């Protein structure tokens, strides 16, 4: 891990071709510290962690636009706050824009970054990505633009773009450049998401259910309670919901998760998030919250603008409707709602592994449906899944379950 004394100062950033409009070496170093922690996804003790780093960065030079860019950008990427609902966040974005309007000294690089963050904050995620790609054409070694685009493509389910965006800039980097090694991880993830990988490891390893529950109690639960991070919350929702689909008794574990999820019921920053939050509402048996969420989603889809609004209208609402139907024992309705958009689920973003929960959910709903045609659908989906994941224990368990139910 990088040490505080090695963070890049004004001259180092200028030498890298990314001149900051600031004379504060401390601001430049703290920007580097924040960027490094974001890319590496860790808290560096020498600077007090990412949150403190961002605070100190803005204090070191309140007029350093890139400090506001990374601060606001990370808030947006966390998908835990919406400027549409959070006046303080909206104020922070306004201050950033004011700094751009108030000076003609800023570089075009800085102005483009502000433009991208403003577009993202208004819901135009794909347009923001286009601006970041424009930045990378001129500044291919701009890790912030690359990472913001990479994470946004992940949220949007743009797998090819996630892969190619990194591939385009890699020849412009050298091995001795800061953060260089992270390019390989980012590119590898994009390659995996587009099926460019060696299938050397054919045998999938079975996870033990009690071990998974223990991991939730000892690690996952503590993580989302301490961090309040949306990423940690959706991971927790996904794990509990997968275990419930497998017939594991969850007990009261949904309760604490529900309380945190409910505070985001009207955010609607990502359809991916909304679908996972719905799992918490139905998991905790809060039918009123589930109904409120659906109403809020429908109003959002009708009244708001932006990329996520379109995804929500096309796919997100259906996913949540299917989850509610399943919770109400209306399994046939769940299948009828979700199956037609099955191939559109990639639009919600996330990884293949994360979205697979909805493939599993559809199979479970089809198995429980009273319609014979849905039983046949389940059998077809399982045959398809078996051909793609031949050694998957989970698939074998589902096939065994279908045979026990005497599917015709």
What does 304-364 look like in DSSP terms, one character per residue? --SHHHHHIIIIIHHHHHHHHHHHTT-HHHHHHHHGGGGGGGGGG-S-HHHHHHHHHHHHH
- Please give the Cα distance from 142 to 136 (Å, whole number): 7
* DSSP secondary structure code for residue 207 in this structure: P
Residues 340, 333: Cα–Cα separation, whole Å = 12
Rounded to an integer, what distance in angstroms lies between the CA atom of residue 11 and that of residue 248? 57
Per-residue pLDDT at 344: 96
Residue of 408, 376, 381 lying closest to 394 (CA atoms)? 381
Residue 3 has a pLDDT of 43
pLDDT at 198: 47
Q: Report how far apart, in Å, the C-alpha atoms of 389 and of each of 84, 175, 283, 395 are.
A: 42, 37, 28, 8
Give alpha helix (H) positions in 170-286: 180-193, 209-215, 221-227, 230-245, 253-262, 271-283
- Yes or no: say if 236 and 257 are a contact pair by the CB < 8 Å rule: yes
> Contact at 8 Å (CB) between 263 and 243?
no
The predicted structure's pLDDT at residue 194 = 78
Which tokens go with 27?
């601001």
pLDDT for position 267: 95
Q: Which of 173, 242, 131, 233 is nearest to 16 (CA)?
A: 173
Q: Identify whether the C-beta of residue 363 lies closer than 8 Å to the C-beta of residue 407.
A: no
The pLDDT value recorded for residue 315 is: 97
> Which pTM was predicted?
0.74
Which of the residues in the chain have pLDDT under 50? 1-3, 198-206, 407
Query: For residue 206, what pLDDT is reported?
Result: 32
**What is the token pair recorded at 205?**
């390893």
Give the integer Cα–Cα distance in Å for 217 and 215.
5
């Amino acid at each position: 891990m990088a040490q505080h004394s090695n963070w890049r100062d004004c001259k180092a950033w200028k030498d890298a071709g990314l001149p900051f409009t600031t004379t504060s070496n401390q601001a430049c170093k703290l920007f580097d510290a924040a960027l490094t922690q974001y890319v590496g996804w860790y808290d560096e003790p020498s600077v007090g962690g990412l949150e403190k780093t961002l605070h100190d960065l803005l204090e070191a030079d309140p007029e350093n636009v890139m400090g506001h860019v990374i601060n606001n950008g990370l808030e947006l990427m966390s998908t835990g706050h919406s400027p549409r609902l959070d006046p303080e966040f909206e104020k922070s974005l306004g201050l950033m824009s004011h700094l751009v309007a108030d000076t003609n000294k800023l570089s075009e690089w800085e102005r483009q970054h502000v433009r991208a963050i403003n577009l993202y904050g208004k819901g135009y995620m794909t347009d923001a990505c286009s601006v970041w790609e424009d930045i990378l054409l001129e500044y291919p070694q701009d890790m912030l633009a690359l990472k913001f685009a990479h994470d946004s493509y992940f949220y949007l389910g743009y797998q090819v773009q996630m892969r190619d965006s990194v591939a385009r800039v890699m020849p412009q980097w050298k091995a001795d450049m800061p953060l260089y090694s992270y390019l390989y991880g980012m590119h590898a993830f994009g390659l995996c998401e587009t099926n460019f990988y060696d299938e050397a490891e054919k045998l999938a390893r079975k996870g033990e259910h009690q071990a998974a529950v223990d991991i939730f109690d000892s690690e996952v639960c503590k993580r989302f309670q301490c961090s309040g991070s949306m990423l940690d919350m959706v991971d927790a929702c996904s794990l509990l919901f997968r275990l419930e689909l497998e017939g594991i008794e969850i007990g009261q574990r949904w309760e604490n998760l529900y309380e945190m999820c409910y505070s985001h019921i009207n955010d609607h920053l990502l359809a991916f998030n909304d679908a996972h939050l719905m799992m918490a509402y139905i998991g905790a048996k809060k039918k009123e919250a589930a109904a409120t969420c659906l109403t809020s989603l429908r109003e959002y889809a009708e009244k708001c603008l932006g990329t996520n609004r379109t995804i929500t209208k096309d796919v997100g609402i259906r996913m949540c409707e299917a989850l509610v139907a399943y919770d109400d024992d209306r399994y046939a309705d769940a299948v009828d709602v979700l199956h037609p958009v099955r191939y559109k689920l990639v639009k919600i973003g996330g990884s293949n592994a994360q979205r697979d929960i909805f493939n599993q959910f559809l199979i479970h709903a089809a198995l429980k449906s009273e319609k014979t045609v849905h039983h046949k659908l389940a059998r077809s989906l399982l045959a398809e899944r078996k051909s793609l994941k031949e050694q998957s224990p989970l698939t074998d368990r589902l096939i065994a379950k279908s045979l026990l139910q005497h599917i015709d």
